[in-house]
Chains A and B, each alone.
Chain A
Amino acid sequence: MRTLIRQQASDGTWKESPVEGSRLTIGRATQQGLQLPGLMVALQHAELQLAGADGRYRLTAKALTGVEFVGRTNVREALLKAGDEFTLGGHQLRIEPPRPGFDLVITVTLVSGQSLARAPARLDLDSGGLSKRRPALYLVALLLLFGLLVPLVMIAVGRPAPLRSLLPTDAAWASGPVTAGHAHFGHQCQTCHESAFQSIGDSSCTACHAEVKHHSDRAEIVGLHGFKDRRCADCHQEHRGASALIPQNPALCTGCHARPETLAGFEQMPAVRDFKREHPPFRYTVSALAADGSGLVDARIGADAAGHLQDVSGSLFPHDSHLAVEGMQGPNGKEKLVCASCHVPDTAKAGFLPLDFQKHCQRCHELKLVTPERTLELPHGQNEASRFLVEHFYAPAVRQQAASSPPPDSTRRRIGADGAETPPATEPPDAKTVVSEVFEYQVCGKCHLIDNSGEHPRVIPPKLRQTWMPSARFVHAPHTAVPCADCHQVSESHTGSDLNLPNIDTCRQCHVGSHDSEGVQSTCVSCHNLHLAKDQLMSARPVADTTPPAAAEPP
C-alpha cells in the first residue's frame, strides 16, 4: 500500500511525503509510517489498511485511548472512506480522495486548526517582553554618551569644576592597574590575553615563567588539595595594583593548613593558623657527622630541651674568642673583630657573601710549616696536595732533625731497674705519623674535623650553609636596625657546631600574624615561598597522577 502524507510545515507550506508498507502505522515512535509529535500520541497509536476494493479503509486503534471519530471518543475500530476525518492526540487526520499511484492520501493538521509553525508555549525573555536588544541598545547609547561623547566634549571644553567628581574618568574603562612586573607590556594586552573575552590560561603565564617551580616535587601534594584544578590566575590575580600578583591573604594557605588532620596523608603536619597564635616551632636543616665519621650528612632538627641547636658544620670556629671584647691577637698586634669583619652582606642585603678562607682566615691562620730549610704553606681545601707536601717536604725535615738531635737533653734520670721503666721513644717519626700530626694537631685540626676512617687523615669539607630554613626566606635588609646579637647570641658560642639562629619566640617579639595588630603583621608569604619544588616546573603541570609509574610499566 502506497500512502501519501500531507503535512503543513512550520512556514505554512504543505509537504507531501510518500510511505510504503502493507499498512500505514501511526504513532509517536520513529519507526511509525506516520510519526506524530505530542505526549498524547502513543508510540504505536493506530493503523490504517485497505478494506476490500471499494476505496474503504480499516482503522484499528492500537493505543488504549483509541481515536475520536464522528463525535465519539475512544473508537477502537472503524471503516473510513474518502472525506472522513478522525482525531488522534490533538492531530486531525483526513482521508483525501485517492490520487493516481497512491492507495491512500491523508492530510494531517492540528486539531485547533493552528499551524505547526507556532509552539504552544513561549519561555524566552522576548515572550516576557524583556528583549535584550532594547536594553543593549540603551546601554550602548549610554556608554557612547558617557564614555565617548562626554569625554570628547570635555577634551574640547575642559572639565567643569562643579561636575568633576560626578563625571566618569578613564578608570571606568580600565580593568585596573597592571602589576609592576608586567607594566612593561604596556598596551599589548595580547601578551597575556590570548583570545578576547576568555580567561587567561596557564599557558599565558608559563610562556614566560617556564622555569617557575611547582609547589612541590611530590605528586601527591601537587595532585591533591586544591592545586590540581587551579589556574595560575586563580591565586595570582592581575589588574589589582602594583604588587597584588603575590597573594597575601593567609586564608589561601590556612584554608588547608589549619586543618591538616582532614587531609589524607598529611594528618601529622602541625596546624598553622596564624604566625603569632598558632604556628609550630621552627625546624632547621643542619649537618651531622656521619656514623662512620667520614663526612657530613643532612639532618632536620628542632631545638633541644635547652633551646640549643647543633649544626656540625665541620668548622670548629669559636665565635666567643674571635669576638672577645678585649680583642684577639692578630699578625700585627691586637685587633678587635666584629660580625662584619667576616659576614659581608650580599648585594641585595638579604644574606651574606660566602665566607672565604683567603679573605677571612688566612691572615692569621697561615697554614705554615716551618723547617730550617723552607717554609711550607699548605694549600687550603686540598687534602691530597697538602698530604703530598707534608710527606715529601716536611716529614723528611722532621725525621732528619729527630735523627740529628736526640731528644732534648736531660741531666736527670730515674731509678729504674725493676722493669717498670721503658726508655723514651727516640725513633724518628715516620711520614704517616707526621702527616697525622699535621692534619690532626699542628695545622688542619685546629679549625676542622678530621676524618680518620680512611687510609690517610682527611679534612672533612665543612658545610657552611647559606640558609638553614629552606622552606622560609629571611631578608636581613629590613632588620638592620636590630643589632646582630639580638638574634644571634654568639658571644657565648665556643664551637662552630653551635647554630646561632633565633627561634620563633625571637621573631614573635616583633612579628604577629594577621589576627593581631600589636606588632608587625606578617602573613604566610612574608616568610614562605609556595613554589618549593626542586625539579618539577609549573610549565609541566599537571603532575596529578598519583599512581606509581612502575606499576604501569610492562615487565
Chain B
Amino acid sequence: MSLLSIAAFSRRAHSGLRRMGVATVALLMLPLALAGEGIHLGVSTCANSTCHGSKTPLPGALVEQNEFLVWSQFDKHAKSFNALKGERGQKIAANLGLGPAEQAGACLSCHADQAPASLRGKGFSLADGVGCEACHGGASNWLGVHASGVNSHAENVAAGLYPTDDPTARAKLCLGCHLFKDDGGSQHRYYAAGHPRLRFELDTYTEERPGHHRIDADYRKRKPGSYGSRAWVLGQVAASRKIVDRLLSGKDGALWPDYAVFACFGCHRRFGDGEPGSSGLPPLQDAPIRLSALALSTLGSASGAKLDNALDTLNQAFAAAGSSGWRPAAIKLAAQLAAAEKELRARSEQATDAGLLYQAVLGRAANGQFARHHLAEQATYALATLRLADPALATAGSEANDQAMDELFATAGMAATFEPARWQQAARSLASPGQASPPSQQ
C-alpha cells in the first residue's frame, strides 16, 4: 500500500469514523464513504518547540513532547527520502527504469509522504521523508481539535487523526509499505531491482524504531489493547489478509500473481538445498496465516482449525498442476481471515493470553514445524514479542534464555543459508533451558 493509498485509506477511515462516532468499530467499515482528507501541513507544523519539538516535556504534558527530535534523530522514517538519493536507491530506480529515485512516484509513495499536490500545505516537503502526517494523516482538519488540548483521542480520531493506536488500523498502515504497496503491481520487480526484502511484525516494528512515544502505565490505561499479544495476533491476521489479497489481485505479467506472495527462499536457493517438505512448487508466504491459525486454536477458537484447513486446501490447489482451482480456495481463505480478524478484535488484551500463545509457538518451534525460513522468521518475532508481553515471562528471563533468543535471531538472520535444524535446536533450548545446551555460536 503506497502512502498515497494510505492517504486514501485513512480518508475512508476518517469519514467512517465520523459517521460511526466510535473509532474502533468504525475501522472495520473502511472502504465505504469518501470525504475530503486533510491537507498535509508539513513536519514543521507539528515540530514547534511548544508542541512536539521540545527538548523537555512541558508542564502537564501526557507525552514526551520530544517526538519530533526522536523522529528526526533516530527514526529511519526521517531518512527515508535521503535513502532514495543514496547509491543503492539510485541503482534500484535505474534498474527499474524510473529515473532519479527521489523523483519517482513509485519510490516516493513509500519513501516520503506522497500526498496529492492539492493536499500539500505551505510547509510540506517531500524531503521530510515519512513525516508525521504520512502516518497520522493530513492535519488540516484535526490539528485544531488536537492542539486545543481539550478533546479526547476519540474526538481527535473523529476529526481525522489516523487511529494508530488500533492494532488493525496500524497494521494496515504499516503493511502498505512494509509488506506490499497497494498498487496491485509486482512487488517482486522491486526485489529483482535490488530493493531489500520486506518483512514485518507489527508489535516488534512498532517498538523497535525507536518509538517516539513512551509506553507507561498511563499510556496503557489510555490505549488498552494497542500493544503486546493483541497487537501481535491482529498484526498476523492483517498480514495474512494482505498476502491473500495480494495473491488475488497482484500481477506479475499477465497471468501470474505477484511472485512476492511466495516465500523468497522457496525459489531463490542453491540447487540441492530443497527445504524439508518442499513439493517443488513455490511455497506461499503463509507464516502469518499459520501463526494466526495457531493463535486462534490456542485461544480455544474453532476458527483456527478452519483457517489451517483453508490454507491446506489452497496449497493443495497450487500443487494440482495446471489447475486454476487455487482462486476459489484463496477467496474462501480471505473470507475466513476476515471473520478471524473480527473474532480476534473482539478479544481484550487479557483474553489474548501472551503466555499461552508463547508456549504454543514455542512448542511447534521445538517440534520442528517452522522449518522453512519465512516460518522461522515470523516465529522468532512471535517468541520475542509474546515473551515480553507476558508479565511472568518478561521478568523471568535468564542468561540461558537470552542466549537461546540470540541464537534464534542469529539463525533466522542467515536467510540465504538458513539451517532449520540449528534454529529448532535454539527453540528447544528456549523451551527447556536446563536440558538442552545451546548450540555453539560458531
Q: Which of B210-253 contact A (CB under 8 A)?
A: 210-212, 214
Bound Cα distance from A398 to B72, whole angstroms: 13
Query: In the complex, A429→B78 CA distance in Å?
Result: 14
B196 interfacial contact with A, CB 8 Å: yes
Within the complex, which residue of A370, A408, A410 is in contact with B55, where a contact is CB–CB below 8 Å? Answer: A370
Name the distance in Å between B396's Cβ and chain A's nearest Cβ.
15
Contact in complex: A408, B208 (CB < 8 Å):
no
Q: Is the CB of A442 within 8 A of B53?
A: yes
> A401, B55: Cβ atoms under 8 Å?
yes
What's the least CB distance linking A402 to chain B, in Å?
Answer: 7
Inter-subunit contact A425/B73 (CB<8 Å): yes
CA of A121 to CA of B188, assembled, Å: 121
Report how far A37 CA is from B209 CA in the complex, Å. 123
Does residue A171 face the partner (Cβ distance < 8 Å to B)? Answer: no
**CB-CB < 8 A to A417: which residues of B?**
410, 413-415
Of the candidates B48, B69, B150, B208, which one forms a contact with A412 in the assembled complex, judged by CB atoms under 8 Å apart?
B208
Interface size on B (CB < 8 Å)?
Answer: 57
24 contacts between A and B (CB under 8 A): A328-B148, A368-B49, A368-B50, A369-B55, A370-B55, A372-B56, A398-B55, A398-B69, A407-B73, A408-B70, A408-B214, A411-B207, A414-B208, A416-B413, A417-B413, A417-B414, A420-B196, A425-B73, A425-B79, A429-B73, A437-B69, A441-B47, A445-B123, A495-B121
A420 to B144 CA separation, bound complex (whole angstroms) = 40
Which residues of A pack against B, CB within 8 Å?
316, 321, 324, 326-329, 334, 364-372, 397-398, 401-402, 407-418, 420, 424-426, 429, 437-438, 440-443, 445-446, 449, 494-497
Chain A to chain B: the 5 pairs with minimum beta-carbon distance, closest first: A417-B413, A420-B196, A441-B47, A445-B44, A442-B53
A402: which B residues are within 8 A, CB to CB?
A: 73
How many Å lie between the Cα of A121 and that of B308 in the bound state? 139
Residues of chain B with a CB closer than 8 A to A370's CB: 49, 54-56, 58
B342 part of interface (Cβ distance < 8 Å): no
User: Which residue of A has the minimal Cβ distance to B147?
Assistant: A329
Would you call B53 and A441 a contact (CB within 8 A)?
yes
A327–B151 alpha-carbon span in the complex (Å)? 12
Residue B381 interfacial (CB < 8 Å): yes
Interface code B176-204, partner A: CB below 8 Å = 1, 0 otherwise?
Answer: 00000000000000000000110100001
The complex places the Cα of A4 from the Cα of B171 at a distance, in Å, of 139
Q: In angstroms, how far is the closest chain B Cβ from the Cβ of A227? A: 44
* Interface residue ranges of B285-307 to A (CB < 8 Å): none
Which interface residue of A321, A408, A449 has the most chain B CB atoms within 10 A?
Answer: A408
Give 18 A-B pairs besides A413-B384, A415-B381 with Cβ atoms closer than 8 angstroms. A316-B123, A328-B144, A328-B147, A334-B148, A371-B56, A398-B69, A407-B70, A408-B214, A410-B207, A410-B209, A413-B208, A414-B205, A418-B196, A424-B210, A429-B73, A441-B53, A441-B72, A445-B47
CA distance A370 to B413 in the complex (A): 42
Mark B348-381 against chain A: 1 for CB-CB distance below 8 A, else 0. Answer: 0000000000000000000000000000010011
Residues in A with CB closer than 8 Å to B76 are 424
The interface of chain B, by Cβ under 8 A from chain A, is 39, 42-45, 47-50, 53-56, 58, 68-70, 72-76, 79, 121-123, 140, 143-144, 147-150, 196-197, 199, 204-205, 207-212, 214, 377, 380-381, 384, 388, 409-410, 412-416
Across the two chains, which residue of chain A brings its CB closest to B387?
Answer: A411
Q: Which residues of chain B come closer than 8 Å to A429, judged between CB atoms? A: 73
B72 near A449: Cβ-Cβ < 8 Å? no
Write the chain A residue with the least CB distance to B83.
Answer: A422
For the complex formed, measure the closest distance between the CB of A517 and the CB atoms of chain B, giving whole angstroms. 45
* Cα of A497 to Cα of B381 in the assembled complex, Å: 49
Q: Cα distance A327–B214 when bound, in Å?
A: 30
Q: Which of A316, A410, A415, A416 contacts B122 (CB 8 A)?
A: A316
Contact partner of A366 (CB less than 8 A), chosen from B50, B148, B211, B388, is B50
Q: Which single residue of chain A is at the shortest CB-CB distance from B88?
A: A420
Decide yes or no: A425 and B74 within 8 Å by CB, A329-B149, A417-B415, A441-B47 being known contacts: yes
B209 (CB) vs chain A CBs: closest residue: A410
Give the distance to chain A from B122, nearest Cβ to Cβ, in Å: 5
**Nearest CB on A from B113, distance (A):** 14
The smallest beta-carbon distance between A315 and chain B, in angstroms, is: 10
Chain A residues near B410: list those with CB within 8 A.
Answer: 417
* Chain A residues, Cβ within 8 Å of B207: 410-412
Q: Which residues of B contact A367 (CB under 8 A)?
A: 49
Per the bound structure, the CA–CA distance linking A107 and B69 in Å amounts to 127
